[in-house]
Each structure stands twice: as structure tokens, then as C-alpha cells.
Amino acid sequence: MTPALHLVEHPEVFVIGDAAYLEGPDGTPYPQVAQVAMQQGEHAARTVIDRLHGRPDRPFEYDDLGMMAVVGRNAAVARLFGRDIQGFVAWVLWLVIHVAKLIGFRNRALVLVNWAWNYISFRRAVRLLIVGTDGRSDRESAPRSI
């Protein structure tokens, strides 16, 4: 893969997101997060437009906008614009930024309603079913009381 995000053998094929291993100027690989993938997608689209206008390919340059992670109910951590934020404020920022990045009013509204319902009802958004090596779930293999 070239620094312009396309394959050497097939310059018409772009590699972005988790499939793209690319190192920054300091030699460390870019993180495999949505922020990098979105910037790579925009770069690939600009490269196609540049090629249509006869302009040369430019290398991908990642602009780190910060990192965020939810760590619990009303709790998150964030590093934005070189500042560390935590707790409820970081959680609200995470929610606002993620909803703002969704495409379309309908998607934003549905996600907000779903999140609000889960928040007031104390429902968990993700349910995991753990399956053992024998193919049975944790519920099926648990000892039964008489």
C-alpha cells in the first residue's frame, strides 16, 4: 500500500479503515478507530477527484481530533484538543459527538430515542451470549436447581 492509500499493483484500488496499515511521520501506526477510517475515506474520495482533474496523488495525513471512551453510566474519558476530560461532561460530549456524526435526521432521532429509553429504563444496550467450546451457551451448561 502506498502513502496515498492505494495498492502499488492496482492504483485504482484503495485500502482504508481496519484493512489499512499505515504509519505516521513518527513511525507509529495509526490507530484502528472510526476517526482514522473516516479521514481515509475522505482522502480516497479526494484522490479520485484529483485524478479526474489530472492532479497527482497526495499522501494521507491524519489529523488527530482526540479520543473518547464510555466507561460506565454517566462516565466517560476523553482527550480533546489536548485536554483531558472525564466523568459526566465527557459522557455528554461523547453522546453529542456520536449523534452528530450519524447520517440523517431519522437516524439521529432513532438513536437518541433508543439511548434515552435505555437510560431511563436501566436496560443494557448490548446483550452477550457466551458459548463454550462444546457449542452450548452459558445458560444451557449452567447447573440446574431441583
What pLDDT digit, counting tens, does each position of 46-92 carry?
Answer: 999 999 999 999 999 999 888 888 888 889 999 988 899 999 999 99
The whole-angstrom separation of Cα 110 and Cα 86 is 26
Whether the predicted pLDDT of 144 surpasses 60:
no
Q: What was the pLDDT predicted at 38?
A: 92
Q: Which residues contact 140 (CB under 8 A, 6 or more apart)?
A: none
* pTM over cut 0.85: no
Whether the predicted pLDDT of 7 surpasses 90:
yes
Residue at grid coordinates 479526474:
52
